[in-house]
Structure 1
Amino acid sequence: MRRLQRLAERTPAGRERYVDLLRALAITMVVLGHWGVTVIGRNSAGQLTGHSALGDLRWAYPLTWLAQVIPVFFLVGGYANAASLTRLRGRGGDAIGWLIDRSARLVRPTTMLLLVLTAAAAVAWARGAKPAQIREVFWFATIPLWFLVAYLVAVVLTPPMYALHRRLGLAVPLVLVVLVGLGDLGRLTGPEELSYGNYLFGWLAIHQLGFAWHDTRAAPPPTGQTAPPQTETDAAGQTPPPQAETDAAGPSTPDRPGVRRTRLPISRRAGLVFLAGGLGALLLLTVLGPWPVAMLTVPGERLDNATPPSLALLAVAAFQLGLILLLRGPAERLLRRTGPWQLVIGVNLVVLTVFLWHLTAAILLIGLLDAIGTLPTPAVGTAAWWAWRVPWLLLLSAVLAVLVAIFGPVEARSGRHRTGRRNGRSTPARAVLAVAAYAAVVAALLLNSTTPKQAPEPLGAPVPALVAYLAGAGVLRLLRSGWGTRG
């Protein structure tokens, strides 16, 4: 509590605290949503099975327009990535140094998860567990990594995409939306391969809006004056307060010619326009159009709005952006109070840890309750199932709190040691190694996410994926020590 109080007191006056609140709320909704729709049952052989309850709760489909919060992550991620990139460049750093900095907060907590799960899989294999069963448990625990793959790609593309944003502004997300539409057409009429680009175009479109939001913080200095230096504090009390996978959102750089066309409209009127336009497009695309109403994966549905992102999901993003803008004023007033702001800082200190470990918490609780013979398996939608939701969520929260207490410090410490503070320029060798290592990490996580959940993998993940990931993470760790920097 003392540390949170210190961080709250050192928060710069110009910080966009709302970005931090949105990240904390989004991660909370993801965790509660995954836990809330989980259905545990048994097959004919008495073995435990699990699936999502959404297929049996059709009335809840419109609620997913709020529950699908991955667009919020990419929106605030774009804001924070733009803020940290411009800040590092202002101190003389370069894009490679920035990428290595970002990898610390993302890769270190992920490495801890994979090492622990792999060790557990090895023990289970040694004790006679079937490789297919090991893979199924590992697959479930690492479901959050599919999002991390998409976000890691957005991070590595931030320097060129931000440069494009500075040149073309809001035209960039508009073009990306058109490309998503073409991908949707391919998914509906063929060939389906045309839609694969939507995995990139859809999330990048929202990420670009985060850049545009960041530009609203850029204010020109008074005539005849230079811009004052930016002062911010971090997790150790020296740069911005800790954020999850991204640095948050400190004051921006001075205005520049043409910046107004790159800014996101954030007035109340703009919020209403986004809200109404997004909702109208959403109704046309889902109720009257071909896309499912649900924005989360529903077992048995032919189409899925999130894999890859569809125009309907982008309409949800516009609808959510409208809500975000309309609630911004009251939220900012709330966050000026010490208590709420300390809570937001505390969540952001370990937000990626919470995200990565929340399904592992479910596995541990299910295993414990099953071992002691007290695991309820009521049918979805019954009174017993609904009554079990409250103790289920409370017990899961307790298990997750223990995991966060154990593994959260890895994430919290990862923001304290940054190569960007050295202000050096990267050598060509350092740049090549950084990109190759980062690509190895992304490819490894992608390989794990696309490997079937019942593949016979005695270590849980494919061995090539584990080797590639650990090699990439190891090189990034070496580079974070400052190797290959000149100046």
Structure 2
Amino acid sequence: MRRLARLAARTPADRERYLDLLRALAIIMVVLGHWAVATIGYDEHGQPDGHSALPAIPWALPLTWAVQVMPVFFLVGGYANAASLAAHRSRGGDATGWLLGRSARLLRPTSALVLALVGSALVARLVGAEPHMVRTVVWFATIPLWFLAAYLVVVPLTPLTYALHRRFGLAVPIALALLVAAGDLGRATGHETAALPNYLLGWLAVHQVGFAWYDARRGHCDPSGNGTARPRRAHRWTRCLPMSRRAALVLTVTGLGVAVLLTGPGPYPISMINIPGQRLDNAAPPSIALLAVATAQLGLILLLRERAERWLHRSRPWQAVIAVNSVVLTVFLWHLSAVILLVGALDRLGLLPTPSAGSAAWLAWRLPWVLLLTVVLAALVAVFGPIEARTGRSTPTDGRPTSRWVGVTAVAAFGAVGYALVANSATAKTAPEPLGLPVAALVAYLAGAGVLRLLRSGWGSRG
């Protein structure tokens, strides 16, 4: 508590604390959402198996508009990446040094998960577990990594995409949204590959809006980008997100209206979380319907901003937000591992409830189920959370430029890690993988993360 009090006391007066609250709440929403819709049963081999309950509870589909908070992650990420990049450059650093600093925050907690899962897989194989069973468990535990794969592509692009924002402002996310719509049109007409770029374009669109929020907060609306000239009205809407209550209402109403039209008379499903069997998915890849919901979420976020900022300037709420954010990625990465551990323990004890999804028994089991999972996740965070909490935000390259080859190597290492996470997600959950993860994906991940670790230590930058 004393450490939290010290951190709270050192918070800069101009920090946008609301962004930290949004990040924490988004993580909590994801965790509770995944836990709440889970239904556990037994497969044909008598082994516990998990599925989403959403197909059996269609009345809950509209609720996915609130619990699909991945757009909030990328919105907050855009603001945070713009702010940290600007701060790093103000200290004399360059884009490569900034990128290495961001890699530490992302990859240290992720590497802990990957290594723990591989070690557990090896132990399971030694005691006689079948490779396909090992893969199934690891596949389920690594579901959260699909989000990180997308974010690991967006982050290295930040220096370029923020430069585009400084030149073209809010025209960039609008153009990206139009490209997403074009990809949707392609898959609606039977050309599924036409929508593959949406995995990047959709999240980039939201990320760019985070840049606009940062510029609005810092007053960087003048066309020169140096924040010294008084912004002309003609440029006020170009680089800066409109923050007024009226603008927030327009975003909320417009986003909801478009989303209703696209999912009612339109071809898109109501659910903003993917459900097997749907002709079109809204989240993988992101659709224009999801971007409409994201617009409504943005409007609601802006409507609550001023009141939330005032509340967060109180000591206790802000300390709670700091505490959650110090382990926020750990919570996200391990929340499905908590499900595996609890289900395994209850199954061994013969106490695993398997009520039908949507039944009265299933609904009654939700509260004890979530409470038990909270206890298990708290134990996991106690063990692995310090890895994230101790991760510094600065790197040895702060304040001095890095060589071009270091930059190329860092981007290639990010690419290797991104490939590894995508390859793991694309591999079937019943594939006979004795290490749980595909061998090529594991090698690529370890190589990419290892190279980034060496570069952060200053290797290759020393004369």
TM-score by length of 1: 0.91
Q: Any gaps of 5 or more consecutive residues in structure 2?
A: none
Shift of 1:431: 1.6
DSSP 3-state at the match of 1:51: strand
Residue by residue, what CA displacement relative to the aligned partner does 1:126-158 show, whole Å, maximum 9, x if unpaired? 111111111111000000000000011110110
User: Measured at CA, do residues 138 and 255 of structure 1 come closer, stay the same or move farther in structure 2, by a change above 3 Å?
Assistant: farther
Alignment partner for residue 269 of structure 1, among 206, 228, 246?
246
State the alpha-carbon separation in 2 of the partners of residues 45 and 443 from structure 1. 32
Alignment correspondent of 1:444? 420
Deviations 1:182-215 (A, max 9, x none): 0000010132211111111100000000000000
| DSSP 3-state at the match of 2:96 | helix
* TM-fit CA distance, 1:55: 0.5
Find the aligned partners of 2:392 and 2:255 in 1 and give their Cα distance: 36
The superposition leaves residues 206-260 of structure 1 with CA deviations (integer Å, 9 ceiling, x where unpaired) of 0000000000122379xxxxxxxxxxxxxxxxxxxxxxxxxxxxxx974567763
Contact 2:105 2:393 in 1 (8 A): no
**Aligned partner of 1:456: which letter?**
P
The one-letter amino acid paired with 1:435 is V
Please state whether the residue corresponding to 1:296 is helix, strand or coil: coil
Coordinate RMSD, CA, aligned: 1.6
Tell me if 1:476 matches 2:455: no
1:148-188 Cα offsets, whole Å, 9 max, x none, are: 00011110110000000000000000100110010000010
| Structure 1: distance between partners of 2:102 and 2:113 | 18
Q: Which amino acid aligns with 2:27?
A: I
Q: TM-score, normalised by structure 2?
A: 0.96
1:311 to 288, 302, 311: 288
**Residue 462 (str. 1) matches residue 433 (str. 2):** no
1:395 aligns with 2:362: no
Q: CA deviation at 1:112?
A: 0.6
1:338 paired with 2:340, answer: no
Q: Read off the aligned partner of 1:103 and give its amino acid letter.
A: S
**Which 5+ residue runs of structure 1 have no aligned equivalent?**
222-251
Structure 2 equivalent of residue 383 of structure 1: 360
Structure 1 moving runs of 4+ over 4 Å? 255-259
Partner Cα distance (1:486, 1:462) in 2: 35
Secondary structure of 1:419 counterpart? coil
Displacement of 1:47? 2.2
Note closer, same or farther for the CA distance 1:119–1:255 as it changes in structure 2 (3 Å cut): farther
Equivalent residue for 1:278, pick from 240, 247, 255: 255
Q: CA deviation at 1:417?
A: 4.9
Aligned to 2:122: 122
Cα separation, 1, equivalents of 2:394 and 2:439 = 30
> Does 77-86 or 253-262 show the bigger shift?
253-262
Given that 1:87 and 1:253 are in contact with CA atoms closer than 8 Å, whether structure 2 keeps it comes out as no
**Matched residue of 1:426: which SS?**
coil
Percent of aligned positions that are identical: 64
Change (3 A) 1:253 1:383: farther
Q: How many residues align?
A: 456
1:320 pairs, out of 297, 321, 325, with 297
1:426, 1:486 within 8 Å by CA — same for their partners in 2? Answer: no
Query: Cα distance 1:434–1:220, how it changes in 2: closer, same or farther (>3 A)?
Result: closer
Aligned pair in 2 of structure 1 residues 110, 160: CA closer, same or farther (>3 Å)?
Answer: same
Corresponding position of 2:89: 89
- Following superposition, the deviation at residue 445 of structure 1 comes to 1.0
Residue 86 of structure 1 contacts residue 253 of structure 1 at CA under 8 Å; is this kept in 2?
no
